Structure 1
Amino acid sequence: MRLLEYQAKELFAQYGIKTPKGISSKNIEQARNDAKQLGYPFVIKVQVPVGGRGKAGGIQKCHNDDEFEIKYPQLLDMSIKGEKTRAILLEKMAEYEKELYLSLFLNRSKRCYTVIASSEGGVEIESVKNQVIREVGLGDVDAQTAEEIAKQIGLQGKTIPDFVDMLQRLAKITVEKEAELAEINPVALLKDGSLLALDGKVVTDDNANFRHPEMDKYQEKTELEERAEKSGFTLVELDGNIAVVGNGAGLVMSTLDMLADNGGKPACFLDVGGGATTESVYEALTLVSKMKKVKAILVNLYGGIVKTTTVAAAFIKAYDDKLIDLPVYARLMGSESEKSKEMLKNTRTKMFDSVEDAINGVVMEVNKRG
């Protein structure tokens, strides 16, 4: 489950991480009262579970009532990377000296959490330079490690203990909520040397959410999304025409972002999960078949726990049963990938050695189909 920014910041506040004063809303009547309560100037921020809001115009400064009446409805009606606005956050502006980057993510291959920090923030993680990357075991970060990271990214004076405090609180969230990712980007370095979380992202492990009923309030599921959850995989419906299928929230999310950056419009985020079977992948394709806007399927899968042949068998069954009649562009790597490529050789699935080539192919296909 990926929390929206305002939801992540609610969680941050519970754990003592400082954020700007803000109020979320879903209609202009409520927002007018919120605007009076906050006072101008403030920032209007689209709430969607994807990145790239700034580039898409989903974050706007607002200085008076006239600007508010024009910008709020525009942002409420906006879609970014196929994802419709779910809420709007009004937030007080903050004056700061510098933007930093800080995150912890679950590194499944090494079975540990990893901290990434940088003296440059405000951009996607792929663009962050001068990164400090530190493995921290099961997520707890001791004060010495946090201080070393602070100094490595060039922090000084009272900012160092502030950074140590922020990182340890962020680590506590990952441990106690079983989060796959907890990110603050950017972290604002204020003029007095203190730190403020200007944005927030939290992704929790769907397989562990049953242990955290306090997080249920953040769930917003469609009928298909609820059916997917009952079947043991994760589906998030989007507003585009290319279904994105993979295994692992991080892999699927990065594929979705790459697709959008290359002109494609994602129709869904579909993570078949670590316990996928031929039957569950077939059920996933059944749900995709019910999405009338889908014109093609993009698969980016790395076989580890889940064998690529499991996914290949599900696609073959879906073709045989005439469940899907869509072009599929796939990059399958890892366990039994050569065998799966042979299995799909005479189907509508086109195989690629790189996800970039698969993305280029599927975007061209969809554009050609109109």
Structure 2
Amino acid sequence: MKRSFIREILEAIDEETISFAGGLPNSLLFPVDDLKLSANNILKKRDVWQYSISNGIKSLRKKIAKQYCKDGFETAPENILITTGSQQALYILARYFKNKSIVLEAPSYLGAINTFKLNDLKMKTAPLENDGIELKSFEKAFEKEELTYLIPDFQNPSTRTYSKTKRKEVAKIVKKYDGIIIEDSPYTELYFEEKNKSISSLVPNNSFHLGSFSKTLCPSLRIGWIRANEEFIHDLLVIKESIDLHSCGLSQHLLNEYLKDEKKYKTHLDILRKFYKEKVEFFCKQLDTYLPEFTYVKPKGGMFVYGEFKGVDSFELLAKCMEKKVVFVPGCEFYIKDKNPHEIRFNFTNSSLEDIIKGIKIIAEVLKS
């Protein structure tokens, strides 16, 4: 096993480094005053300092379930398991399906690849097209494995989003073989145009739907969740309890208090989407101006821009850019096999406008030299 390349990059950089590497939300948008108020309201209550129940405090699970219902996906609190971030959710599911085979998109999320590898899941891949996974390859692999891990909304790293047609077709394939889909959705609320219907809602008893507040609120709370049928949740609880008994009670109570005001969170999400949409427009404009040879498709949401420099080794480029204090992630880190050495993932959400211009100019200068 090796560590996450992205986490290693984050540890190697300093305050002078312009980072387009990690998937960091913009800290200027954290609703600190509102969270502080919520914290002050709950910290005087003695029960928030006590052990909690393993599946998460019920009032928080109710609020998450309510949002699913609003989206047309019937869900009860018993269908929700609170986890310590969605990364723990992935680990719990990897333990649950240990030693099985699983179908992934190519490319796919590095954190999932490493977690599946650690738990001896045999990974097969199907390529991504502009509107989602390539169906013939996917069905051929899924027919044998009957288990898949997909990121349909603003996929990490490719930023691609499944069309309504692809979502229905994937659901049909899952039903046809009575298989299981693990649908990872940390970016779903970060849409610039419209919110998409989840694939899981089309196959509620054959799915695990993963969510997180790390990208939409703040990562430090470490609150994620799994939505599944009650039988699955009961099985996952056994694994969860062997890891940490329950996720941080203080974080759960603070978040639960904050979410009591639904308008407050909705307003925060509206600000986030507007800010990120303007940010990606600016980022792409700089790419087009200073790096016209970089080919990409402008994302419709999420936190990344993904594309390639034809004929340029992205690892060599990264090494030279690191010397000049600019970092990004080579795309080959997101492949299991048939790695493309020319692809790159840029994070656009965390850097200032000044650093975006400066960082992209430095990459252009390195390319020229």
Give me the TM-score of the superposition, normalised by structure 1.
Answer: 0.28
Q: Which of these two proteins has the greater Rg computed from alpha carbons?
A: 1
Give me the TM-score of the superposition, normalised by structure 2.
Answer: 0.28
- Structure showing the higher helix proportion among its residues: 2
- Structure showing the higher strand proportion among its residues: 1
